[in-house]
Amino acid sequence: MRRILFVDDQKEILNAHSELLEKYRGQVETMFALGVDAALELARSTSIDVVVADLQMRQMDGPALLRKMKEEHPDIIRLLLCGRHEFDSIFVALPTAHQIIAKPLDIEVLLNIIERTCRLRELLTDSLRKKIGGVEALPSIPTVYLELTRAMADPNVTNLKIARVIEKDPAMAAKTLQLVNSACFGMSKQIMSLDSAIALLGMDLIKNLSLSVHIFAALEGLAVRSYFSFDAEQQHSLITAKVAKRLVSGRRPSQNAFTAALLHDIGKLVLAVCIPEKFIKAQLASKASGRPLHEIEAEMLAVTHAEVGAYLLGLWGLPYPIV
């Protein structure tokens, strides 16, 4: 049974959550913490699957609390409740919250998110799950970042042009789709194309997002770069996406195919960041033996890059057809 910790500094809100969850007692186990200190203490003393925090709290706001949770317990799924009038503030929460949920709390939406994410989580070992849980953003390619910055400097730039730049970079594409599909936006349907995502998010938020995923420079010292080319992976993903789009008829199915193909190897980027030495060994063994990389990964890492990618994208709330 999944164990969920709700955190707020107002007792009446916690009581309201408790009442809403009353009929689901047999499906999930719930815990309630009045304030940040109580939440951190519970997380240290009890095994918790999911923490749900409010964006605004007096002692420490939701993003700050989730940041502490991430540091101490990176394998806990971190969800943030956000009022519709607070949407301008959600950007600060994006690096620490796996998903953002609109208030008032919809229990069915919450439980669906939890069940889906926990099922994907079971694919991974505890160690790898904790490392992926600490991923804020995937490495973004410098050339793409610079191109995006130049394009956005043009006051007449169109959403379509920005989409064409972003689709070159699986890391940026994944983070953009994560944000637009957050429950806080309350979309009646899940968004699978970058064009639509950019139109809905707006250019200002995309500008901020481009800065948040630009962490490639932090990876300069990793030896994995000698064996894994992020630039080559970028090109491979884009070519695969374009081919997939041509193979599928219909506007929406072709968009889904493009996005899924663009992100199909994103698990490789995650492994390159989280367990670089082991990933190097798997790549070298694959090249030496001539066997597919996923077979070597299953033997050496007990998980494939496809499973790792599915977990991260599922954690971020991307649509099932893409995951």
pLDDT of residue 299: 93
Query: Where is the domain boundary, 189, 212, 235?
Result: 212
Q: Is 7 a domain residue? A: yes
- pLDDT score, position 205: 66
Residue 133's nearest CA partner among 286, 322, 270 is 270
In a domain, 42, yes or no: yes
Residue with tokens 């070992």: 125
Note the pLDDT of residue 169. Answer: 78
**CA nearest neighbour of 130 among 65, 69, 43:** 69
Residue range(s) defining the domain that contains residue 59: 2-122
Are 31 and 95 in a shared domain?
Answer: yes
Residue ending a domain, among 212, 242, 272, is: 212
For residues 109 and 148, membership in a common domain is answered with: no
Mean pLDDT of successive 10-residue stretches along the chain, which has 323 residues: 92 93 88 94 94 87 89 89 69 75 86 85 74 61 64 82 85 79 69 86 67 44 54 78 87 80 85 85 93 94 88 78 79
Q: CA–CA separation, 215 vs 225, rounded Å?
A: 14
Whether residues 260 and 297 share a domain: the answer is yes
CA distance 143 to 137: 17
Burial class (CB in 10 A: 0-12, 13-18, 19+), 247: exposed
- Looking at the structure, tell me whether residues 281 and 248 fall in a common domain: yes
Residue from 59, 60, 106 nearest 82 by CA: 106
| Structure tokens given for 31 | 């815990």
CA gap 291, 305 in Å, rounded: 15
Residue 157 main-chain phi, psi, to 5 deg: -65, 145
User: What CATH number is given to the structural domain containing 37?
Assistant: 3.40.50.2300
Beta bridge partners of 82: 102
d(CA 290, CA 19): 58
Are residues 47 and 109 part of one domain? yes
Residues 181 and 247 occupy one common structural domain = no
In a domain, 269, yes or no: yes
Distance CA 63, CA 79 (A): 10
Shared domain check, 61 and 40: yes
Q: In what helix (H) or strand (E) does residue 32 lie, and over which residues does it extend?
A: strand 28-34
Give the alpha-carbon dihedral of 9, 14, 17, 21, to 10 degrees. Answer: 140
* Count of the separate structural domains present in the chain: 3
Sheet containing 77-82, strands listed edge to edge, beginning at the edge strand earlier in sequence: 28-34, 2-8, 50-54, 77-82, 99-102
> How, if at all, do strands 77-82 and 50-54 pair?
parallel
Q: Is the dihedral of CA 188, 96, 178, 266 positive or negative?
A: negative
Q: Which of 58, 123, 182 is nearest to 308 (CA)?
A: 123
- Rounded Cα distance between 248 and 92, Å, is 37
